[in-house]
Amino acid sequence: MCSVLLVRAAHEGKTVKDPEIGAEPPGDEVSRDLSARRAGSSSADRIFERAAGTWLGNGRADHGVAHQQPKPKKRRKRRRGRKVFARDGRQPASAPQEPANPPAPPAREIRLGSPPAKRSGSRPPFQDQPVFAALDLGTNNCRLLVAVPGRPGQFRVIDAFSRIVRLGEGLSVSGRLADAAMDRAVEALKVCGDKLSNRTIRRARLIATEACRSAENGAAFLERVEAQTGLSLEIIDRQTEARLAVSGCGSLIEEETQGVVLFDIGGGSSEIALIDVSGRRSSRLANHIVSWTSLPVGVVSLAERFGGRHVSRATFQAMVDDVTGLLRKFEGRDRLGHLANGARFHLLGTSGTVTTLAGVHLGLERYDRRRVDGLWMDGASVNAMIERLLSWDFRQRVANPCIGADRADLVLAGCAILEAIRAVWPSERLRVADRGLREGILSELMAEDGVWRQNGHRHRS
């Protein structure tokens, strides 16, 4: 029942407000509001944890009011009296010290597709629909989406989780994942494991990206993850990462568009895909990638090399020049030359950098994904926002609700990568995407499973 989901999400939202976590990420991909940032989860995810929502092609959410009908008064009262504990093991301030039902030990096996333990007096929400899951463990964030298919090309998110873990902290210097960083990631993954073990998952894909890909102890860390959380993660290559980013953002590329440079500025790497849709489109947008590259630089690694807290204009320009040099070595950068000067060409960014810029541009006092995802920004607006961020000191960046403490030392490094991309592919139009790898994974899993074809429809991503 949806009420079960709402009760669980409401308590999760209360118990994760831990001041030691700091300010919440501006998104995954994404800038976030200050209050949600303190919880280490994206504001979009927190919305979906409060109520199930439909992920629409235009980026808006339909929160399924029909599924939120109140329960009989007696039943609601009984549920309010239950002892609920946070998924991460923390207890609400008013809760007793010992839970009525002790948590499962850390080391356990999670069998995706097997039914969860039955709970008396409740029915699992969306029990008649197949459930899919996508987990992305990156250099900076750990994120999970759980969803059921909706109309063709769309899905309804029924659970979500996001937390900044900074797994790649210090990696660019030592070449290894630090103990504290691994501990943070494991704790976040335990929360994800609990969420997955409580559902019957038809298909899931759990991925790790640049931090685990490049670290000497990346494989050993994933063995530890499996032993302690029951989750088996796969390290994907950079080409797969670029393809998934395209799949996740496909609905933001409009019919009249002919060429797009899509970029995903990550924590340890940045993926760039050149997409030519000037001819007839196939059912999957990823089939139109004509060239791609993965730069071995992201906001975490660049900030560690040049400094992120106190960034002078000279330092910022040095970062831009460094990334531009990497892009100049990309042999396929001119594959969209015949389209790049036309009005039907634009940039499409999916990362915390571009969503932060969008949030600052809109003057948001609280990050609002519905206003940011799909937003168009012209060149003058992008220039103005970068100039504004350069004029702020570290404390001013921390104070901005779309940046916060967790992003204040990274956002200018992201802007430097963005400036290098704009120098190689000048465009007066930039579209902002508050979505990414998880959405791409879910779209591909559902398309491969044929859930949309079963209703006589063809999916076009």
State mean pLDDT over 1-25.
35
Tell me the C-alpha distance between 402 and 422, whole Å: 22
Tens of pLDDT, residues 199-221: 999 999 999 999 999 999 999 99
Please tell me which residue, 172 or 27, carries the higher pLDDT value: 172
Q: Are 331 and 292 in contact (CB under 8 A)?
A: no
- 206 burial (CB, 10 Å; 0-12 / 13-18 / 19+) is buried
pTM score, two decimals? 0.72
Indicate the pLDDT class of residue 44, thresholds 50, 70 and 90. very low
pLDDT computed for residue 61 by the predictor = 38
Q: Are 301 and 267 in contact (CB under 8 A)?
A: yes
CB 147 within 8 A of CB 158: yes
% residues pLDDT > 70 (the chain):
70
Percent of the chain with pLDDT over 90: 60
Of the listed ranges 53-67, 274-288, 346-360, the least confidently predicted one is 53-67
Distances (CA, A) of 169 to 29, 139, 151, 379, 402: 18, 8, 40, 32, 22
CA distances (Å), 206 to each of 111, 170, 193, 364, in order?
Answer: 13, 24, 11, 33
Rounded to an integer, the average pLDDT of 244-269 is 92
At 152, is the pLDDT very low, low, confident or very high (cuts 50, 70, 90)? Answer: confident
Q: Is 200 exposed, middle or buried (0-12, 13-18, 19+ CB in 10 A)?
A: middle
What integer pLDDT is reported at residue 21 of this predicted model? 26
Distance from the Cα of residue 178 to its chain's centroid: 23
Do the bridges between strand 53-55 and strand 61-62 make them parallel or antiparallel, or are there none, so unpaired? antiparallel
* Average confidence score pLDDT of the chain: 78
| pLDDT tens-place string over residues 87-97 | 343 434 443 34
The whole-number average pLDDT for the span 390-409 is: 95
Q: Which residue has the tokens 């900044």?
A: 164
**Is residue 361 within 8 Å of residue 377, measured between CB atoms?**
yes
Give the model's pLDDT for residue 455. 52
Instruction: Let me know: does 26 contact 410? Beta carbons within 8 Å.
Output: no
The identity of residue 365, as a single letter, is: E
Q: How far is CA 404 from the centre of its chain?
A: 17
Report residue 112's pLDDT band, with 50, 70 and 90 as the boundaries: low
- The answer on pLDDT for 73 being more than 70 is no
Say how many C-beta atoms besides its own lie within 10 A of residue 388's C-beta. 14
Instruction: Give the pLDDT confidence score for residue 149 in this predicted structure.
Output: 93
- Going along the chain from its start, the domains and CATH numbers come out as 2-237+440-449 (3.30.420.40), 254-435 (3.30.420.150)
How do residues 329-367 score in pLDDT, each as one tens digit? 999 999 998 898 888 999 999 988 999 999 999 999 988
* Greater pLDDT, 281 or 275: 275
Give the pLDDT score at 305. Answer: 95
Cβ contacts of residue 232 below 8 Å, gap of 6+? 206, 222, 226
Q: Which token pair is 186?
A: 């494991």
In degrees and rounded to multiples of 5, residue 72 shows phi and psi of -55, 150
Structure tokens at 459: 């999916």
User: Which has more pLDDT, 49 or 397?
Assistant: 397
As given in the structure block, the two tokens for residue 269 are 């790497």
d(CA 152, CA 171): 41
Phi then psi for 146, rounded to 5 degrees? -120, 130
Q: Please report, as a single letter, which amino acid is at residue 396.
A: Q
pLDDT at 187: 97
Is residue 16 within 8 A of residue 40, CB to CB? The reply is yes
